[in-house]
Amino acid sequence: MNDFEIETLAIRAGYDQTAEQENSEAIFPTSSFRYHSAAQAAARFSGEEKGNVYSRFTNPTVRAFENRLALMEGGEACVGTASGMAAILSTFMALCQSDDHVVCSQSVFGTTKVLFTKYLAKFGLQVTFVSQTDIGQWQDAVQPNTKAFFLETPSNPLTEIADLAAISALAKQHDCWLIVDNCFCTPVLQRPLEQGADIVIHSATKFLDGQGRGIGGAVVGSLELVDEHVRGFMRTAGPSMSPFNAWIFLKGLETLPVRMAAHCQNALLLAQWLSEHPAVEQVYYPGLVTHPQYALACVQQSAGGGLVSFKIKGDRAAAWSVIDDTQMLSITANLGDVKTSITHPATTTHVRVEPEARLKAGITENLVRVSVGLEAIEDIKKDLARGLDKLI
Ligand SMILES: *Cc1c(COP(=O)(O)O)cnc(C)c1O
């Protein structure tokens, strides 16, 4: 399938039709697999014969999702996981050990920071947080025991762009892996492996599903790192993706290219409208020419993405009133859904980050994040105008 475009891969790749000749992919809700003989069972367990053993480590529906996402990201292998966080945990448990060091963008998902500082730290993994956009800080943070760099771009919620070419060059120079959480762009807008990353992480919960139906994650990369090491951890520790969820994500991938195009189109229109609204202090969206890294965004991603954040002229009360005055938008921290969602990062997604670190990352009390869905853009604007217009 390597010759096909991403739109075709999204619909056709990764699945082998069964003897039933179904057109839509089947779900295999089975925990284990049955063998023709004791000898075949032995061959499967020893790895002598390729094939399924137990759904904690391989399942046909999960494999179809993994194969399809691997091809879309341009990776050799993919491992599906129970959640995006399980994907990050599995990657570091598989690849790092105590006294290893990670350089991580300070602008990553709040829970990712907690995972590093509260849990992985218990096992001796050291982490240094640096600016997403200052390559000098990445350089200065490197130690002899640095094993990996970790980032997500654009960042949540301020849409800062990490320079993948520069950071991957630095990682190579120091013999480190670059691990990129590609949740916001998806392979439709940005393919980090082609830009020098070694591993791509996904929360399938977000755009890959696209309709807010399930929790899942994925790790994509080389056969050695992902199929051997990460899958090895996964089959032993067990944060596996369920076949039902894999089927939802597999079908979600089919419409990912058209959905991403529509998310980006609505998000750009909303960002432009917000920029002109008198109650808005600042808008954060990489597709706006006024974004400080617009030129870099144009180089490494094909569009601005579906997330728009903005600071209101006012305090927390003003931000909350804009959120509470909406009638259609979903007040929820989830993102990447066809339903537009709105949230107050300082008191939701980033509440577990220390107040000082939160401010350092620019998550102020007047900041609101919108994950722009696929409703009519006029209706989304009208819903936000209800609260914004009162503040003028
Ligand atoms: C949501 C999210 C995660 C975690 O994914 P879950 O599926 O909720 O575990 C990781 N990274 C980013 C950027 C996210 O938005």
Instruction: Count the residues in the chain.
Output: 392
Question: Both 66 and 195 in a single domain?
Answer: yes
Is the CB of 109 within 6 Å of ligand 1?
yes
Question: Both 316 and 271 in a single domain?
Answer: yes
Please identify, by atom number, the ligand 1 atom nearest to the C-alpha of residue 204. 7
- Residue 95 φ then ψ, to 5°: -105, -20
Is the CB of 337 within 6 Å of ligand 1?
no
**Quick check: 306 and 263 in contact, CB under 8 A?**
yes
The CA-based angle 64-206-223, given to 5 degrees, is 40
Tell me which amino acid residue 3 is. D
Measure the CA–CA gap between 365 and 345, rounded to whole angstroms.
Answer: 8
Question: Both 306 and 195 in a single domain?
Answer: no
Measure the CA–CA gap between 119 and 278, rounded to whole angstroms.
Answer: 44
pLDDT digits (tens, 9 = 90+) for 320-351: 999 999 999 999 999 999 999 999 999 998 88
Residue 313: its pLDDT value, please? 97
- Choosing from 219, 252, 285, the residue where a domain stops is 252
**pLDDT of residue 370 exceeding 80:** yes
Question: Both 77 and 41 in a single domain?
Answer: yes
The range of the structural domain enclosing residue 183 comes to: 6-252
Give the CATH number, domain containing residue 333. Answer: 3.90.1150.10
Flag whether 14 is in a domain. Answer: yes
Residues 6+ apart with CB under 8 A from 1: 8, 9, 12, 13, 14, 71
Is the CB of 84 within 6 Å of ligand 1?
yes
Question: Both 262 and 181 in a single domain?
Answer: no
Question: Both 271 and 197 in a single domain?
Answer: no
Question: Both 226 and 358 in a single domain?
Answer: no
Question: Both 300 and 219 in a single domain?
Answer: no
pTM for this prediction: 0.96
Is the CB of 247 within 6 Å of ligand 1?
no
Distance from the alpha carbon of residue 113 to the mean position of ligand 1, in angstroms: 12
Positive or negative, the Cα torsion across 278, 281, 285, 288? positive
Residue 339: its pLDDT value, please? 98
Give the CATH number, domain containing residue 141. Answer: 3.40.640.10
**Quick check: 183 and 201 in contact, CB under 8 A?**
yes
Q: Which of 85, 105, 348 to mutate to test the pocket of ligand 1 (most atoms within 8 A of CB)?
A: 85
Tell me which amino acid residue 144 is. P
Is the CB of 107 within 6 Å of ligand 1?
no
For the sheet with 330-331, list strands across it.
280-284, 307-312, 367-371, 341-343, 330-331
Distance from the alpha carbon of residue 12 to the mean position of ligand 1, in angstroms: 26
Flag whether 58 is in a domain. Answer: yes
For all residues of the chain together, what is the average pLDDT?
A: 96
Question: Both 46 and 183 in a single domain?
Answer: yes
- CA neighbor of 197 nearest in space, from 221, 214, 211, 178: 178
Q: Which of 184, 205, 349 to mutate to test the pocket of ligand 1 (most atoms within 8 A of CB)?
A: 205
Residue 381: its pLDDT value, please? 98
pLDDT digits (tens, 9 = 90+) for 176-203: 999 999 999 999 999 999 999 999 999 9
pLDDT digits (tens, 9 = 90+) for 233-261: 999 999 999 999 999 999 999 999 999 99
126-130 and 330-331: which strand pairing?
unpaired
- CA neighbor of 76 nearest in space, from 245, 187, 167, 199: 199
**pLDDT of residue 1 exceeding 90:** no
Question: Both 300 and 336 in a single domain?
Answer: yes
Is the CB of 156 within 6 Å of ligand 1?
yes
Is the CB of 115 within 6 Å of ligand 1?
no
Distance from the alpha carbon of residue 374 to the mean position of ligand 1, in angstroms: 21
Q: Which of 92, 119, 183, 200 to mutate to test the pocket of ligand 1 (most atoms within 8 A of CB)?
A: 183
Place of tokens 């075949």: 40
Residue 235: its pLDDT value, please? 94
Domain count, the chain: 2
Measure the CA–CA gap between 253 and 234, rounded to whole angstroms.
Answer: 23
**pLDDT of residue 2 exceeding 80:** no
Is the CB of 83 within 6 Å of ligand 1?
yes
Distance from the alpha carbon of residue 184 to the mean position of ligand 1, in angstroms: 9
Question: Both 276 and 189 in a single domain?
Answer: no
**pLDDT of residue 361 exceeding 80:** no
Flag whether 1 is in a domain. Answer: no
Q: Which of 92, 109, 307, 334 to mutate to test the pocket of ligand 1 (most atoms within 8 A of CB)?
A: 109
Measure the CA–CA gap between 308 and 55, rounded to whole angstroms.
Answer: 38
Please identify, by atom number, the ligand 1 atom nearest to the C-alpha of residue 152. 13
Residue 353: its pLDDT value, please? 78
pLDDT digits (tens, 9 = 90+) for 202-231: 999 999 999 999 999 999 999 999 999 999
Distance from the alpha carbon of residue 196 to the mean position of ligand 1, in angstroms: 22
- Choosing from 233, 252, 271, the residue where a domain stops is 252
- Choosing from 227, 252, 277, the residue where a domain stops is 252
Is the CB of 203 within 6 Å of ligand 1?
yes
Flag whether 323 is in a domain. Answer: yes
Question: Both 298 and 313 in a single domain?
Answer: yes
Distance from the alpha carbon of residue 108 to the mean position of ligand 1, in angstroms: 10
- Residue 197 φ then ψ, to 5°: -75, 155
Is the CB of 89 within 6 Å of ligand 1?
no
Is the CB of 183 within 6 Å of ligand 1?
yes
Is the CB of 206 within 6 Å of ligand 1?
yes
